[in-house]
Chains A and B, each alone.
Chain A
Amino acid sequence: MSLDKPYADVPGTTIFDADQARRGYHLNQFCMSLMKADNRARFKANERAYLDEWPMSEEQKQALLKRDYNRLIQLGGNIYFLAKVFSTDGLSYLQAVSTMTGMSVEQYRTMMIEGGRSIEGNRYIEEKD
């Protein structure tokens, strides 16, 4: 029996479940390594070489190099792990999260100040079509 996923019909959302955790294990553990200043320095000095020390897929490495956070989430990354990457880059959650929405940082910040993204039309995938 496969895992029950009642959350699969929520639009624009990936739930970090056991399948995602398995897919993203090495990606997320790489992120954890950036909690040490020495590792951050080594990563910044040569990102590709540092990534090659981890048994990640080439797709995951490319998404990391591009800081493509939507792709990283699809490939098993979790935002609280990925936060170590954008913190290393000196970005805030708001700055990093906005890149997943197709909006500029300023547009996104303004949306948040004005009350955030509305729930209306955002509950079910069907509503988006």
Chain B
Amino acid sequence: MARITAGVTTSHVPAIGATIDHGRTTEPYWAPMFAGYEFSKCWIAEHMPDVVILVYNDHASAFSLDIVPTFAIGCAESFPPADEGWGPRPVPVVPGHPELAAHVTQSVIQQDFDLTSVYKMDVDHGLTVPLSLMFGQPSAWPCRVIPLAVNVVLYPPPSGRRCYALGKAIRRAVESFDEDLDVQVWGTGGMSHQLQGPRAGLINAPWDNAFIDRLIGDPEGLAQVPHIEYVREAGSEGIELVMWLIMRGALADRVKTTHRFYHVAASNTAVGHLILENA
């Protein structure tokens, strides 16, 4: 049977991708941030999953204003990197897992979550930057990836409560898949950041760290936090953090913290990164 073994969270700032692609990770501005991922690269080499269900948000790349799905699951064989206005990132095409994706879709919809199935989709920095942070620059990605795109661009995004419950539904779905697969769920985006208006540049480190504490120890309570608190305390783009609750819902109620890292700033954003394993 398939099983979920671990969860990873990380910010997915586009400048991180550009820095990796241009070989500038050792520059003084960037070195302290990348240092926080050294452990993670070693850890994942020893805990290589067969499949990552990668929760991220599309940044107006696959989805324009014509169609905005709240939850969309990638069911294709593969997903090319998107051209976000400066050409696609020079990273490998992302291999999907259509069989598990179809199973998760069917199971989760039958648990009353109305996912949108996507059979053709380019994936932007929201998905490829976490892969680069965890796997470096391989010529092919070392595992399969099921993209799970969450709308956090057009108000209203799904609530934290809904995201946490979706994570639990994904866990049940994976655990009922016959093939023996090691599956990780990654939640990406955040932490505090605001990319617009005179309040741009907002960072709230105490709030971010309290968020991490509660994600680990009190996810049920954290899931009750309303949208307005994310916006007010963590900036208009800080709402991406609801996606971390999908990862957390997919894990056991009790988890051990294998790795925890926080850094300000990468470009406009507070970087947070966790590796959690079922206790």
Q: How far is the CB of B240 from chain A (nearest CB, A)?
A: 11
Cβ contacts A to B, 11 pairs, < 8 Å: A6-B228, A12-B198, A14-B236, A25-B65, A32-B60, A92-B267, A94-B15, A102-B198, A111-B201, A112-B264, A116-B264
How distant is the Cα of A83 from the Cα of B125 in the complex, in angstroms? 12
How many Å from the CB of B118 to the closest CB on chain A? 17
Interchain Cβ contacts within 8 Å, total number? 158
Interface residues of B in 253-278 (CB under 8 A from A): 264-265, 267-268, 270
Complex alpha-carbon distance, A74 and B267, angstroms: 23
| Chain A min CB distance to B205 (Å) | 7
* Contact digits for B117-134, partner A, Cβ 8 Å, 1 yes 0 no: 000000000000000000
Asked if A48 is at the interface (CB within 8 A of a chain B CB), the reply is no
| A53 to B180 CA separation, bound complex (whole angstroms) | 54
Q: Is the CB of A80 within 8 A of B265?
A: no
Q: Which of B64, B82, B83, B200 contacts A97 (CB 8 A)?
A: B200
The size of the chain B interface, using a CB distance under 8 A, is 47
Contacting residues, chain B, for A25 (C-beta < 8 A): 65
With A21-B154, A115-B205 as known contacts, state yes or no: A11 contacts B198, CB within 8 Å: yes
| A7 touching B231, Cβ below 8 Å | yes
Chain A to chain B: the 9 pairs with minimum beta-carbon distance, closest first: A116-B203, A87-B85, A12-B199, A12-B198, A17-B155, A80-B59, A84-B85, A117-B201, A80-B60
- The answer to whether A97 touches B201 (Cβ under 8 A) is yes
Contact yes or no, A100 B196, CB < 8 A? yes
Tell yes or no: B23 within 8 A of A by CB: no
**A31, A83, A124 pick with most chain B CB within 10 angstroms:** A83
Contact with B along A64-89 (1 / 0, CB 8 A): 00000110010000111101111110
Residues of A within 8 A of B156 (CB): 17
Does B61 have its Cβ within 8 Å of any Cβ on chain A?
Answer: yes
Q: Could you tell me the distance between the alpha carbons of A79 and B268 in the complex, rounded to whole angstroms? A: 13
- Bound: A12/B231 CA distance, A: 12
A117 to B202, CA, bound (A): 4
B195 at the interface (CB under 8 A from A): yes
Contact B15 A13 (CB under 8 A): no
Taking a contact as CB atoms closer than 8 A, the residue among B83, B198, B233, B236 that contacts A36 in the complex is: B83
Query: Do B267 and A32 have beta carbons less than 8 Å apart?
Result: no
Residues of B within 8 A of A100 (CB): 196-198, 200
The docked-state distance in angstroms from the alpha carbon of A97 to that of B197 is: 8
Nearest CB of B to A112, in Å: 4
- Chain B residue with the shortest CB-CB distance to A101: B200
State whether the Cβ of B207 lies closer than 8 Å to any Cβ in chain A: yes
Complex: how many Å from CA A118 to CA B204? 7
Given A81, A86, A101, A111, which contacts B198 in the complex, CB threshold below 8 Å?
A101
Extra A-B contacts (19), CB below 8 Å, given A6-B227, A83-B60, A97-B268: A6-B228, A7-B155, A10-B199, A10-B236, A13-B236, A34-B85, A37-B87, A78-B60, A78-B153, A80-B153, A85-B85, A93-B267, A94-B15, A97-B195, A112-B264, A113-B29, A117-B202, A118-B203, A123-B232
